[in-house]
Amino acid sequence: MPVSDDVVDRHLAELAQRRRSEGTIYARRRALARMAAAIGVPLLRAAPDDLTEWLDDLEVIDNTIVHYASHARCFYRWAVRKRLVDVNPMDEVIVPVLVRGLPRPISEEDLMRAIAGAPQPIRIWLVLAGWAGLRCCEIAPLRRENVLDTATPPVLLIAPDATKGRRGRIVPLCSFAVAELHLAGMPRAGYIFRRADGRPGANRPAVISHATAAYLHESGIDATIHQARHRFGTKTYQAKKDLRLVQDLMGHADPATTAGYAAYCQADGIDAVEALPVPARLRAVGE
């Protein structure tokens, strides 16, 4: 079967036509480039054994292996649909089970300290994550037209093509977040956060993630901007005890993801374990 030199570019072009996010296309390109360099055969000639050996040789955690395997599986599914290969070789590859970890919210002390000393636009990025639950991929392409700060109540419109899983949503804005957006300065139209290099278009989500991480670590805070989003999820659940509400606010496709935020609201659990009988206090040695 002939192998086209531009097969990856064709695949990525179709992703763009299907309006997949820039971050998804970038991650797919990197994953396929790494796979092509590792397996030692053209992508369209890879057998299940080649792909199994490639995944086995990766010195990364299981969840990262799942991530790479997902990119490979989607590429070969496309190749089957385009009749470039007869079968998807990833169908015979055993992949670890994805382990869904619990949220790790930034502490209130660290977040308030970070906000107090952060320069713009890092300060407003942290506010949008910690008080509106936005991901970096949602902050980067945020447009002035989607900040309805004069509505009652004020809200953010998260466009389907600007978020993970293409799940658009409406996020209410608290008065603090509205005030911070005004202090940060918003243009009359277009992207709120212009690129530092002066080029047109939105920032890459990685730019926001890396810049914020660098600031936090330089400030002695062991956290990330995504942990500010986790803080939003845990605090909104603690306030309302409503998983469906938090699922909608966070933009989760799977309610099981949202359920992890309930783990940080354990007032009843604390009362229960404190009520457990304990042995009488032992006499100290020498008494």
Q: Domain residue spans in the chain?
A: 7-92, 108-266
- Least confident stretch, 125-129, 201-205, 246-250, 255-259: 255-259
Q: Are 72 and 35 in contact (CB under 8 A)?
A: yes
* pLDDT score for 272: 72
Q: What is the pTM of this model?
A: 0.72
Domain 7-92 has CATH 1.10.3720.10: no
Q: pLDDT band for position 262 (50/70/90)?
A: confident
Predicted confidence (pLDDT) per residue in 40-97, tens digit: 899 999 999 999 999 999 988 888 999 999 999 999 999 999 999 999 999 999 998 8
CATH level 3 topology of 108-266: hpI Integrase; Chain A (1.10.443)
Predicted confidence (pLDDT) per residue in 92-135, tens digit: 999 988 777 778 889 999 999 999 999 999 999 999 999 999 99
| SS3 assignment, position 269 | helix
Separation in Å, CA 146 to CA 20, 168, 169: 20, 12, 11
Report which of 90, 95, 23, 25 is spatially closest to residue 58, judged by C-alpha positions.
Answer: 95
* Strand-by-strand arrangement of the 147-148 sheet: 147-148, 155-158, 169-172
Is residue 33 classed exposed, middle or buried when 0-12, 13-18 and 19+ CB atoms within 10 A define those classes?
exposed
Planar angle of CA 55, 25, 229, nearest 5 degrees: 90
Instruction: Say whether 108-266 and 7-92 share the same fold.
Output: no
One-letter amino acid of 51: L
Interatomic CA distance for residues 13 and 122, integer angstroms = 33
Cα Rg of the chain (Å, integer): 23
